[in-house]
Structure 1
């Protein structure tokens, strides 16, 4: 699978669990950290975990496992590191506080419909 196809699987897994305000940033355009950030908001800690679990489950079906996971204890911001893609699932308060889109303002947004 291409990184774009994997990003689409991530997006769909978040959308399936009713993640809100899903943003895809092309971090690769401004940094060598990774290719994409996928950022989403959940309405509760329970939903944060459910979304992250679904992303992990869907990618595992394709033989893709995370390199790292952070935030499962607090469930207010879970980060899943897939190397080329880093997934951030926030509760509403922390999404606003950390505002990754502002921090990475030079990274262009990606429209999900343009991904393979």
Structure 2
């Protein structure tokens, strides 16, 4: 699976669990951290945890495990690092505060219309 396919699969999983404002940003040209960031929000800390858990579970079913996970204690920002793809799941207020979309605005906005309902 390519990193773009992985990013789209993560977005699809987040959408299936009612993630809010799901976006993918191609950051390969602006950082060495990853090829893509997938960003979504949940309406509560419970939903943030459920979204992150579902991404982790569904991708493990495909044989893909995260290299690292951060944020499970607070459930306001959970990061799942898959190497070339980093999934950020935020509580809406936390997402607004950190505003990663603005921070990575030089990245390429990825069209997710084919995977989001």
Which TM-score tier does this pair reach, normalised by the shorter chain? over 0.9
CA distance in 1, matches of 2:110, 2:60: 24
TM-score normalised by structure 2 residue count: 0.94
CA distance in 1, matches of 2:6, 2:105: 23
The structure with the largest helix share of the pair is 1
Q: What are the ranges of 5 or more consecutive residues in structure 2 without an aligned counterpart?
A: none
Partner of 1:50: 50
Residue 114 and residue 18 in structure 1: after superposition, are their counterparts in 2 closer, same or farther (change >3 A)?
Answer: closer
2:62 pairs with 1:62 = yes
What's the CA shift for 1:38?
A: 0.2
Partner of 1:99: 99
Residue 114 and residue 3 in structure 1: after superposition, are their counterparts in 2 closer, same or farther (change >3 A)?
Answer: farther
What's the CA shift for 1:3?
A: 1.4
What's the CA shift for 1:8?
A: 1.7
CA distance in 1, matches of 2:9, 2:27: 18
Aligned length: 115
Q: Report the 3-state secondary structure (helix = DSSP H, G, I; strand = E; otherwise coil) of the residue aligned with 1:48.
A: helix
Q: What are the ranges of 5 or more consecutive residues in structure 1 without an aligned counterpart?
A: none
CA distance in 2, matches of 1:16, 1:35: 23
- Judge which range, 8-17 or 37-46, deviates more: 8-17
TM-score normalised by structure 1 residue count: 0.94
